[in-house]
Structure 1
Amino acid sequence: MALQSAGDLLKRAIELDTAMKYSESLVCYEEGIQVLIRLMREAKNDTEKKSFHSKVEQYLARAEEIKKIVKSSEQDSHQRVKCIQIKEGDTGFSYASVFGPCLDNNITDVTVQDPYIKAKHQVHNFVRFCELLVQECSKLQSVTLVTIQADFREQSQWLGELKESLKKRKISLDIQYSTSLHDREVRFSNGWIVKMGRGLDYFQRPKGQFTIGFSNYNLRPCLETTIETFHRLNTQFVQTKHDK
């Protein structure tokens, strides 16, 4: 039974390895190797032990190579600063398109700093963004919004409704008001940071409620803005780049 399990795991590891899905492959290699080591220790004769030992060494060698590939890939990813220049009237820049590359199931906390989550359409934008997080981040526990408090009570009512909706999904929404906030950025607990010239409100107002782009943000024309995405491991690089 254990031998079959090891065989299935290592067969899957090789398939993923061949497909260059190295992170997933490494998990299967490591689990399969652990089963082989257990079988080696439980082997009743030297011949069996040597056979298992040979297989363990073979798969361990490949697993170590893949670890280097994965580490190198992660470092390269963290060294890249992606800059999106959106021109007036451009389409194809929904929240899924812009933030999707940053999202994964390791994210537990997200912080949004945006002074303009006040008007009704801006709160709607924030709701759309939270919907994306709920859909793509299965371990999400909390969302923090830092914004400027409006001088009308509807803002707190709208955000309060969203807070209750997220609470039903066991996600907390912490709303913090600032009187001097200017920067617009989103920080994810997996290390990714997105800086946005216009914050979440970079879409043009739709021509009407029954026009293309009203519901699908990927089809809605945008306002001109710049969006930068980078990893916190590379924060020093970004600061140096901006100082030049």
Structure 2
Amino acid sequence: AETDPKRKQHYQTKILEYMHRAEQVKELVTRWKSKGVISDKIHIVEGATGYSYRRIFGKYLNEDVREVLIEEPYVRDHYQICNVVMLCELAVSSCRNLKYIQLLTVKDAKNNDEQGRAFETLKENLQEHAIKFVVEYSEHMHDRQVILSNGYVVKIGRGLNYFKPSPTRYQLGAFDHHFRQCRETNVDVFYCPENNKS
């Protein structure tokens, strides 16, 4: 046992500091747990096929989904806009109670007219299905994720743009992305109870 009163006091102070820090860490872990439970992890290897949006998102898109938030910084080029349209097609066909889709992206400084026209066309088309489509721009976003109102969050390392270009227009994968080769990426699916609005 320590007999020096100064050293004893020093150790007691350190013990209290460590206990306080342990409580802070415990509280932080509890908060992170409430942020979501990992539901699924998928590693897509370079050149793999069979990873269409239906495979990645399909089992999470159901009648409980009323809202979809797509956070995708790069929706500038034609193929990137087409990827958003494909995800919207899947959501509309799978989620019979879908009422709202929001896209958070970065504004294309070079070709804003084309980007804006594409979003306006998609907005008008979704209105025909009684779905509101809203685009918001952020200059500081980097994360890529799709948040569903049934509590699921799908994070894809490369975002929606993980497909390789089709070598020709007349082969499998030109339209059905189940056959399209992919770029290597990771997919993490979380269930976050606080996001569940159903």
Superposition TM-score, scaled by structure 2 size: 0.77
Report percent identity of matched pairs: 35
Higher relative contact order (Cα pairs below 8 Å, separated by 6+ residues) = 2
Which residue does 1:175 correspond to in 2? 135
Which residue does 2:84 correspond to in 1? 126
Whether the aligned pair in 2 keeps the contact of 1:110 and 1:142 (CA below 8 Å) is yes
Cα-Cα RMSD: 1.5
2:146 to 180, 186, 194: 186
2:185 to 225, 229, 236: 225
State the Cα distance separating 1:162 from its structure 2 match: 0.6
Count of equivalent residues: 158
Whether the aligned pair in 1 keeps the contact of 2:71 and 2:146 (CA below 8 Å) is yes
State the Cα distance separating 1:133 from its structure 2 match: 0.5
Q: Which has the higher helix share?
A: 1
Distance in structure 2 (CA, Å) of the matches to 1:116 and 1:229: 21
Unpaired segments ≥5 residues, structure 2: 1-35
1:210 to 160, 167, 170: 170
State the Cα distance separating 1:80 from its structure 2 match: 4.6
Matched, 1:100 2:58: yes
Unpaired segments ≥5 residues, structure 1: 1-77, 236-244
The letter for the 2-side match of 1:222 is C
The letter for the 1-side match of 2:167 is K
Whether the aligned pair in 2 keeps the contact of 1:148 and 1:177 (CA below 8 Å) is yes
Distance in structure 1 (CA, Å) of the matches to 2:63 and 2:153: 16
Whether the aligned pair in 2 keeps the contact of 1:114 and 1:147 (CA below 8 Å) is yes
Q: Which has the higher strand share?
A: 2
Whether the aligned pair in 2 keeps the contact of 1:79 and 1:234 (CA below 8 Å) is no
Distance in structure 1 (CA, Å) of the matches to 2:183 and 2:59: 22
Superposition TM-score, scaled by structure 1 size: 0.63
| Rg larger for | 1
State the Cα distance separating 1:233 from its structure 2 match: 3.1
The superposition leaves residues 61-109 of structure 1 with CA deviations (integer Å, 9 ceiling, x where unpaired) of xxxxxxxxxxxxxxxxx85531110011000000000001111101110
2:44 to 78, 86, 91: 86
